[in-house]
Chains A and B, each alone.
Chain A
Amino acid sequence: MENSVRSANLDWIKATHPDLLPIVEHKYGDGYSITISRSGVPTLALGEIQIHSAYDPIIEADRLAVKALESVPVGNLVVLFGLGMGYFAEAVAKRQSSQIAVVEADPGILPVAVEHGRLASLGDARLIIDSNRDVALEKLRNFANSVGGWSKITFLHHAPSVKRFSLYYAEIESCVKAQATQLTESLAILVVTPLYGGSLPIAKYCANAFSRLGHRVEMLDNSIYDPASRQLENISADRKHRKALMDGLFNLMSDSIIAKALDKSVDLVWLVAQSPMTPHVASELRKLHIPTAFWFVEDWQYREYWKDFAGQYDYFFTIQDSGFHEALARKGVKHFKKLDLAADPDVHKPLKLNAEQLAEFGSDVSHVGAGFRNRRQVFSGLTAYDFKLWGNDWEDSGLLRRHLQRDGARISTEESVRIFNASKININLHSSQFHDGVNPDGDYLNPRTFELAAARAFQIVDHRSDLPARFKRDEEIVVFDDARELAPLIEHYLAHPDERIRIAEAGYKRVLADHTYDKRMSEALNYIFAYEPVRASTRHPNHIDNLIKDASGDDDLLSLLNELKLEGVVTLDDIVERIRMRGGPLGKAEQIYLLMYEFRRWMAEKEAA
């Protein structure tokens, strides 16, 4: 019988935790003694400590699990401390619908559990076994990230197992809790936009999302420099001179990041593709302990400038993974994660259009986008339809000219949303300059996929490898794998308006549930702050804890800072405001801050003059 227990457990380890196999071959940990309990199943003691019941370990574990789970809020992630032989873990796992993790400090327990324990009954539970706390924490972090982040986590203790390594578990718990709580707090996030281009609105959608998530958003809107940069382009015929001037502008925008980040005491700087930041500024921010995150919302294989900058960001988000993540790792990027594009439901939304607008923006078939090679090729087959083509770069497009609206002018976001709403069928063909028809290697989904769905618009989209995991084909979205399938699909759905409505509605629900910028930004923050061991702001020199620490040599300053009951990163204004609200004779420390306040005001006046 023992042999069959061992082989079942071993199979489970092989299938689910191959990384643990080397430990299985170790000998038992010191001091463990296995006996048979009164109920007939094996039980375990460690010296004087009885790890499992000597009477009935299964009933004991059930009883403990029921009691422990009473305190777990619905939907919370359960992390169990202490594996033992797996009785308790089994009892918890079978009562939890979501995946649980089991953390164990002593690798010496694993051979015991494999030999005599209940591992095979643990289902999808994740074992994290490492005597090194930091390694265990890192594994736990990866687990948490894979199942939805730190924010909702409950720790259960298998008391007899935990006792011997209480410090180890306490440290893990406090570390995780510190990270989890910081996400429920409001962060201050500096969003840096590019000068212009497709990623500019995305930066703004990110800012809106952060704001809706309850964070304080500071904006560095570099699009204000767009007219200036155009001026610079024309200022001289000398290319070197033009470059020097543009570099100057780039440095200015970049330096503004530090100025604003310091002024507003931000916890994070968020940049998107094309947002300007020099390596110098990146390293200054690093010195100031202000983390930077960059969302590269471009195709890594066609836009290669990431190679020069990737290493300077603390967190690098991509819209593609295969190959790219390996390339980033080779560039020394430590933290990277795939983050799909999304929609902003405040912008991309169903609209009620009047007859005039329907006439202007409506058609049987439409496409909004630039005239890339594959689009020209595919759309030339749609000229028989009531087909409206919107967007720029459609010069020399032959027969398609007749379908081009507004003579190829740029279409604003607002107008795009009207077109989505007014068109019976929106064709969404991911652009390619290198293919005819559908790009067979296409992976990520363009913003249009999510935006159309969020507008409750009906779309036919070309196949992308990311698509099946995001939308249910034919239920939430209609897909064509080959350009030749497009016309028959158009025919079909023009003839079946009810199907169009049903699919658009389902796609709309899917986007709102899973593919908003709010979801993405929340995911990004979960990822970032799982790696920031303490909330960034607590490392800010003006975090109240640090001010108190710095004041430790002076009783007056120390007691004032304690008495003012300030929280988080504080400003001189905060301190002075509190001082002014107090009564009684003015203390020494109070006067020092008032002096600083007045001196700073004098400096500002002098500067203004």
Chain B
Amino acid sequence: MQTAPLVSAAVGKSDPEQVHLLVDSSLESTAHMIEGVAEVHTIDRGHFARELAANRLSSAALLIKNLIDRLNSVAFDIVTNITHTAESAYLSSLVQAKEHQGLIGSRHGNYSTEAWSRLFRATLPRRSEGVFHLIDLHRKIAGLGTPSSEDSWLKTKDSFVFPDQPAGPILTIQPGANNPLRMWPVAHFASVVSVIKKQIPTLTVALVGSKSEKPLAAEFLQYYSHQAIDLVGKTTLEELAGVIAGSTLVLSGDTGTIHLAAALQIQTAGIYLGMARAYDTAPYRSGSLVFEPGQQCYPCPEDHRCGHVSCHKDIPPEAVASALVALLNGGEVEPFQAKTFQLRKVGFDSNHCLELSSWDDIPFREIKRHYWVQEFSPNPAKSSPLPASPETLSVLAITANAITAARQLEAELVRGNSAADPRKNLKLAMTEMEKQANLPGKIGLLCHLFQLEVVNVPNDPLQIIKTIRVALENLARRLETFPDRHIAPELSLRRAV
């Protein structure tokens, strides 16, 4: 489902007849639903896994060989790998094309020659610091622009016909999720709906989900004293799309349903818990709401086994209900931060990257996105300037002062000033620089956040300082696209550099 905006962007770039998808065979029908996909190719990974598990090497090899032969009969121009598994790297490079994007295989592992996918890999171990939505990263990896259409990105058939032709809004809910850590208590969902129903009596409620989630629907109906249309386990994916297309609003966790809704351009409200993190996987649609807990430990690392799920209690149903009532009444909902949770709202920044408005939990995130877009852009001049903000000004100040400090230190070292001698390593040099610039801890942070290339330098203070200085100057150059008029003259980088 999250591939849909990418396909839309690809269609905008090239002839729509030319977009093919290669997916696991279990996702074949899903892939067919995406608007603009000319052909769907499948790999039966289950079969492949069984052959490998039984150690049938010939048969496993022939499965892949036959798949590759089929794919190579198409003659692709570009192959874009938007998964990040080692296996997909080889699969991607096996398909003949004029250009490969994303991970490809090599004799000793896999790699990408393309900067965005390298950035993606570099940030994987520190996901909570990531500032790009997955769809944006994949868009960048594939060199794609923004989605070409503002309309639905899915081929929807007829909408589901709700019984009795409801006059009021239709709220569709999926209480389940594929991982219990991400699952908000069913009673909370029921409270939300009960509150809304009190205020909007014409509200129609539909429940959706997979067959295994039927008990959740039953539980919901125990708590909820009004009628609800229970479609859990009763729809195919196409029928689910029909239900959602006919809905006013979809409320669920980070599920396929919520991304389906976003792809259909339907308003959504997400309850993101556990390892579901809005910056990575918020519904890719402007105006989507995401509630996130305020726990220190949120988000969980991937594959985490949490024993307390404290974050499930953080988001009060009343707060969700009041936001949803406002939305259903056609009003605007503004993001805010409360003591135990925050409400984020999806928007897009000047580089068309997804941005979540809320309080500032990731320092410099906007400027970081801008930096990387500048850094990797084949044509930086064309990138949009970033409006000045207190954050921008802060980074500029640090960078400018750091460069000045680095130059002073460098000059001292060149003069052979003995005071600089003991600084035999990066950390000491950095501390000294921060001391000189009167910016304790800030330069290190800057280097870390922007992943400036200041590691693996020779064990020589002069070289260390030089490397840091060059990296900072590089950062400064990238940030030059700030319109000067927004920046206080004394902080102008151009002047500092």
Residue of B at shortest CB range from A595?
Answer: B90
Residues of A within 8 A of B85 (CB): 598, 602
Q: State which residues 437-466 of B face A: CB under 8 Å.
A: none
Q: 1/0 contact trace for B43-86 toward A, CB 8 Å?
A: 00100110011111111111011001000000000000000011
Residue of B at shortest CB range from A596?
Answer: B60
> What's the minimum C-beta distance from B470 to chain A, rounded to whole angstroms?
34
Residue of B at shortest CB range from A572?
Answer: B57
Determine chain A's interface SS by DSSP, over half rule: helix
The answer to whether A596 and B58 have CB atoms under 8 Å apart is no
Residue of A547, A594, A609 most packed against chain B (CB within 10 A): A594
Take A550-B58, A551-B58 as given contacts and tell me if A596 and B64 are in contact as well, using a CB distance cutoff of 8 Å. yes
Residue of A at shortest CB range from B55?
Answer: A262
In the docked arrangement, what's the CA distance between A589 and B59, Å?
A: 13
Q: Which of B60, B62, B110 contacts A554 (CB 8 A)?
A: B62
In the docked arrangement, what's the CA distance between A272 and B444, Å?
A: 68
Q: 1/0 contact trace for B96-133 toward A, CB 8 Å?
A: 00000000011110100000000000000000000000
In the docked arrangement, what's the CA distance between A593 and B94, Å?
A: 11
The size of the chain A interface, using a CB distance under 8 A, is: 37
Take A586-B93, A586-B105 as given contacts and tell me if A603 and B58 are in contact as well, using a CB distance cutoff of 8 Å. no
Residue of A at shortest CB range from B303?
Answer: A609
Residue of B at shortest CB range from A560?
Answer: B61
The answer to whether A595 and B91 have CB atoms under 8 Å apart is yes
The answer to whether A603 and B52 have CB atoms under 8 Å apart is yes
> What's the minimum C-beta distance from A365 to chain B, rounded to whole angstroms?
57
Residue of A at shortest CB range from B108?
Answer: A580
Residue of A at shortest CB range from B52?
Answer: A600
Residues of B within 8 A of A181 (CB): none
In the docked arrangement, what's the CA distance between A542 and B56, Å?
A: 7
The answer to whether A598 and B87 have CB atoms under 8 Å apart is yes
Q: State which residues 557-609 of A face B: CB under 8 Å.
A: 557, 570-572, 575, 579-580, 582-583, 586, 588-596, 598-603, 609
> What's the minimum C-beta distance from A98 to chain B, rounded to whole angstroms?
44
The answer to whether A594 and B105 have CB atoms under 8 Å apart is yes
Residues of B within 8 A of A580 (CB): 107-108
Take A554-B65, A595-B94 as given contacts and tell me if A590 and B86 are in contact as well, using a CB distance cutoff of 8 Å. no
Say if the beta carbon of A76 comes within 8 Å of chain B.
no
In the docked arrangement, what's the CA distance between A262 and B54, Å?
A: 8
Residue of B at shortest CB range from A575?
Answer: B57
The answer to whether B94 and A591 have CB atoms under 8 Å apart is yes
Say if the beta carbon of A538 comes within 8 Å of chain B.
no
In the docked arrangement, what's the CA distance between A309 and B215, Å?
A: 49
Say if the beta carbon of A522 comes within 8 Å of chain B.
no
Count of A-B contacts judged by CB separation below 8 Å: 90
Residues of A within 8 A of B58 (CB): 541-542, 546-547, 550-551
Q: Which of B57, B93, B106, B110 contacts A547 (CB 8 A)?
A: B57
> What's the minimum C-beta distance from A492 to chain B, rounded to whole angstroms?
64
Residue of B at shortest CB range from A600?
Answer: B52
Residue of B at shortest CB range from A550?
Answer: B58
The answer to whether B106 and A592 have CB atoms under 8 Å apart is no
Residue of A at shortest CB range from B64?
Answer: A592
The answer to whether B53 and A598 have CB atoms under 8 Å apart is no
Residues of B within 8 A of A595 (CB): 64, 87, 90-91, 94, 105
The answer to whether B86 and A550 have CB atoms under 8 Å apart is no
The answer to whether B93 and A602 have CB atoms under 8 Å apart is no
The answer to whether A588 and B94 have CB atoms under 8 Å apart is yes
Residues of B within 8 A of A554 (CB): 62, 65
The answer to whether B61 and A592 have CB atoms under 8 Å apart is yes
The answer to whether A592 and B93 have CB atoms under 8 Å apart is no
> What's the minimum C-beta distance from B115 to chain A, rounded to whole angstroms?
22
Take A542-B55, A594-B105, A609-B303 as given contacts and tell me if A602 and B61 are in contact as well, using a CB distance cutoff of 8 Å. no
> What's the minimum C-beta distance from B199 to chain A, rounded to whole angstroms?
44
Q: Which of A263, A542, A591, A601 contacts B93 (CB 8 A)?
A: A591
Given contacts A580-B107, A598-B110, 9 further A-B pairs with CB under 8 A are A541-B55, A550-B58, A553-B62, A592-B65, A592-B94, A595-B64, A595-B90, A599-B48, A609-B303
- Residue positions of B touching A, CB distance < 8 A: 45, 48-49, 52-62, 64-65, 68, 85-87, 89-91, 93-94, 105-108, 110, 303
Q: List 27 A-B contacts (CB under 8 A).
A: A263-B55, A541-B55, A551-B61, A551-B62, A553-B62, A554-B62, A556-B65, A557-B62, A572-B55, A575-B57, A579-B107, A580-B108, A583-B107, A586-B93, A588-B68, A588-B94, A589-B61, A591-B105, A592-B64, A594-B107, A595-B90, A596-B52, A596-B57, A598-B85, A598-B89, A598-B110, A602-B87
- Residue positions of A touching B, CB distance < 8 A: 262-263, 541-542, 546-547, 550-551, 553-554, 556-557, 570-572, 575, 579-580, 582-583, 586, 588-596, 598-603, 609
Closest 3 pairs between A and B when the two form their complex, measured CB to CB: A550-B58, A595-B90, A598-B86
